[in-house]
Amino acid sequence: MDIAIDLGSDRTRVFLENKGIVLNEASVVTFDVDTGEIYAVGDEAYKMIGKTPAGIRAMHPLDGGVIAQPELVEDMVAILLKEVCTAKIVMPRVVTSIPCDVTEVEKRAVVNAVSSIGVRKVYLIESPKAASLGCGIDIMGPHGVLIADIGSGTADIAVLSLGGISVCKSVKHAGAAMDDEIVKYIRKKYNLIIGTNMAEACKKEVGCVKVPVEPKTFKVKGRDAVSGLPRFVEVGYAEIKPVIEETALEIVTAIKDVLESTPPELIGDIYSDGIILTGGLAKLTGFARMISEATKLKVRVHKAAADCVITGCGKAIEYIATADKADSSGFSPLISVN
């Protein structure tokens, strides 16, 4: 049985052949700083962020779409896979996604992290390709497709054709950067200290780049920076919009840069089909509208935007045989062998 893995900065997802998505947990590890002992991984570890005692730390070992703490990622992957993989799966082949502009060093770190569980071979596929497959798009034909996979760590924008990437650009500031801006804003405006988990919850509830007609507020809870006592403030769409707007505009600018670098023949296809948004941040209120207004193109958000990459990695499993044959010739348009 073959496996597909999406190592995201925010979530780690696993797809098993003939079973579909079997795991979707936070990419977080809680460990002892002195001994390195792992206390928890996944959603359980996510709940511990900002709540651990001295000597214990909970953190995201992936940052900006790449591996920041290799040993922690290896432990996290091994522990999570034990939850979903039976003893019958021995030395599986693994398809995993990577950002579209990773270096060879970053690519090798991903391969090493996945290989630590004991695999036969690792196959890599760029996130935009995987997202396109997950959307059900045929990218093997001579037809241009512009897809923007916007997640927590990175936003990968690419024009695809004939199974390959014609033009691409990766932005290292996405959902997590918005969370950091919310933390800074609440501290500066209200003298209230909050954690990234609270900031993320705030972004999901009242984060927007176009203020909706319906008013909505979110209760932000934290510690008063002056008195040290618990306190909360209520914030709404209009207040959070300017806080996260700069990061959103950076992604929009990257999409426009990709369009400007796209060959004229492919631009015609994109003009007809529009832009496809995937990733967890794709459903941010008003984001699709902002991109549409900036590019003058139709923008479509996939209904299962957050799962497109892992679904596409799962679909890429059927191309493994093709990749093995192409490996000897040095060319594989869809997935590469490592």
DSSP string, 203-224: HHHH-BSS--SS--EEEEEEEE
Has this prediction a pTM greater than 0.85? yes
43 shares its domain with 166: no
Amino acid (1-letter code) at residue 299 = V
* CATH code, 213: 3.90.640.10
Domain final residue, candidates 243, 266, 289: 243
Q: How far is CA 165 from CA 70, 147, 270, 307, in A?
A: 28, 11, 14, 21
253 shares its domain with 302: yes
**In the predicted structure, residue 124 carries a pLDDT above the cut 80:** yes
151 shares its domain with 273: yes
Please name which of 247, 234, 123, 225 lies closest in space to residue 181, comparing C-alpha atoms.
247
**137-173 tens-digit pLDDT:** 888 888 899 999 999 989 999 999 988 899 999 998 8
153 shares its domain with 210: no
What H or E segment, with its residue span, contains residue 234? strand 230-236
20 shares its domain with 31: yes
Domain final residue, candidates 192, 218, 243: 243
| Pairwise pLDDT comparison (220 vs 163), residue with the higher score | 220
Q: Which two tokens stand for residue 113?
A: 């992290």
163 shares its domain with 194: no
- Judge contact between 6 and 22, C-beta under 8 A: no
**Which of the four pLDDT bands, split at 50, 70 and 90, describes residue 337?**
low
Distance of alpha carbon 312 from alpha carbon 156, whole angstroms: 15
C-alpha dihedral (95, 101, 107, 113), degrees to nearest 10: -60
Q: Which residues contact 131 (CB under 8 A, 6 or more apart)?
A: 147, 149, 156, 276, 278, 279, 308, 309, 312
280 shares its domain with 302: yes
**251-295 tens-digit pLDDT:** 999 999 999 999 999 999 999 999 999 999 999 999 999 999 999
Buried residues in 169-201 as b, exposed as e (16+ CB within 10 A): bbbbbbbbbbbebbbebbeeebebebbebbbbb
* CATH code, 109: 3.30.420.40
Average pLDDT, the chain: 89
| Percentage above 90 pLDDT, the chain | 64
Q: For residue 331, what pLDDT is reported?
A: 40
**189-214 tens-digit pLDDT:** 999 999 999 999 999 999 999 999 88
275 shares its domain with 161: yes
161 shares its domain with 194: no
233 shares its domain with 126: no
Domain final residue, candidates 215, 243, 271: 243
Q: How far is CA 218 from CA 153, 161, 177, in A?
A: 24, 43, 19
- For 97-165, give the DSSP string: EE-TT--HHHHHHHHHHHHTTT-SEEEEEEHHHHHHHHTT---SSS--EEEEEE-SS-EEEEEEETTEE
- Judge contact between 264 and 187, C-beta under 8 A: no
User: Strands 192-193, 217-224: parallel, antiparallel or unpaired by DSSP?
Assistant: antiparallel
Distance of alpha carbon 278 from alpha carbon 148, whole angstroms: 6
Buried residues in 28-52 as b, exposed as e (16+ CB within 10 A): bbbbeeeeeebebbbeebbebbeeb
Number of domains in the chain: 3
290 shares its domain with 161: yes
- For 77-91, give the DSSP string: HHHHHHHH--TT--S
Q: Can you give the residue range of the structural domain that contains 46?
A: 3-132+309-337
**In the predicted structure, residue 180 carries a pLDDT above the cut 70:** yes
**6-60 tens-digit pLDDT:** 999 899 999 998 889 999 999 999 999 999 899 999 999 999 998 889 899 999 9
197 shares its domain with 148: no
